[in-house]
Structure 1
Amino acid sequence: MVSPEDLYILDVTEFSKDFYRMGNGKWPLFTDERARVDVPVSVQNGVEVVIANGNGFSAFDTIVPVMRQPGRKVWRIMKGAVIPSELVLVKDLRLNHTGHYMIAPATTMPLKKYLGALEELGMDRSRVQLIGEGDSDAR
């Protein structure tokens, strides 16, 4: 996870440019297994909650080299897509991390609520599209 002092939470309600992340053939893989790696999770009153500290699921403002490897499924989150109110877009300010952002929880909330907001975003084909191998953006 990235130290909060290396993160900048953007005050936006929609994506200002296209963003990209890897997934599978069905959706951009916003899974609970990945959340447990990318976001601090604790248990409060028997409920797993994500701690809002700016960390979240990675997204990039360009196609990065690992995304160009054969067999990779790359998803585009489209410019202008509305960000669900439970989520924030966070810019990674670390040296050599230009173009790296995170889709993070806006507040500390149940893990299932965070994943639900990500699923809402990821399953909406008006906001998120799988880039085909012949797509000019995938080069």
Structure 2
Amino acid sequence: MREKTLYILAEDLYRMGNSSSSRLANVRRSDINTREIGETDFIVADNNGVSVFTKEGLDECPLTGWVWELKAGTILPAGLTIVKRGSKGHHMIVPAENMPLAKYISLLESVAMFCEKQYMKRA
């Protein structure tokens, strides 16, 4: 049996969403790599996924809209991990292993329940 690792957020992370949702489970096909096996789409565990930011990264990024917070101490379910990517303060929540895309989205939905709407970020 493969060992599962749980990740606990070490710092507050932020996601840009809209007024009603963090859109954490809104996976853009252009941001991930998938492979079709049979009739099922699998997400490839290659450190691509959905973006989140530290406070510093959020302040520096040009995105605008509703800011949603994932508090430090939030436990990510087995199957998800955090990687630092790109600019300072930019992270991604990614699959820890190849898995059906629907499972990845479901895991993100379970994390999205812990997101709290904070404020409207303007240009």
Q: Same fold (TM over 0.5)?
A: yes
Deviation at 1:132, TM superposition (A): 2.8
1:37 equivalent in alignment to 2:51: no
TM-score (norm 2): 0.83
Residues of 2 paired with 1:37 and 1:84: CA distance? Answer: 24
Kept in 2: contact 1:12–1:89 (CA 8 A): no
1:22 equivalent in alignment to 2:16: yes
Q: Which amino acid aligns with 2:79?
A: E
Kept in 1: contact 2:6–2:75 (CA 8 A): no
Residues of 1 paired with 2:118 and 2:10: CA distance? Answer: 19
Residues of 1 paired with 2:104 and 2:79: CA distance? Answer: 7
Residues of 2 paired with 1:52 and 1:80: CA distance? Answer: 24
User: For residue 81 of structure 1, what is the aligned residue in structure 2?
Assistant: 74
Give the superposed CA RMSD: 1.9
Residues of 2 paired with 1:56 and 1:47: CA distance? Answer: 18
- Aligned-residue identity in percent: 31
Q: Which amino acid aligns with 1:80?
A: G
Residues of 2 paired with 1:78 and 1:48: CA distance? Answer: 31
1:66 equivalent in alignment to 2:62: yes
Q: Which amino acid aligns with 2:62?
A: V
Structure number having the greater strand percentage: 2
TM-score (norm 1): 0.74
For structure 2, the residue ranges without an aligned partner over 5 or more in a row are none
1:132 equivalent in alignment to 2:119: yes
Residues of 2 paired with 1:66 and 1:98: CA distance? Answer: 13
Show CA shifts across 1:16-64 (max 9, x none).
Answer: 00011111222221224x2x12110121111011000111101110223
Q: Which amino acid aligns with 2:19?
A: G
User: For residue 110 of structure 1, what is the aligned residue in structure 2?
Assistant: 100
User: How many residues are matched?
Assistant: 114
Pick one of 73, 77, 88 that aligns with 1:98.
Answer: 88
Residues of 2 paired with 1:54 and 1:132: CA distance? Answer: 29
Structure number having the greater helix percentage: 1
Deviation at 1:12, TM superposition (A): 6.3
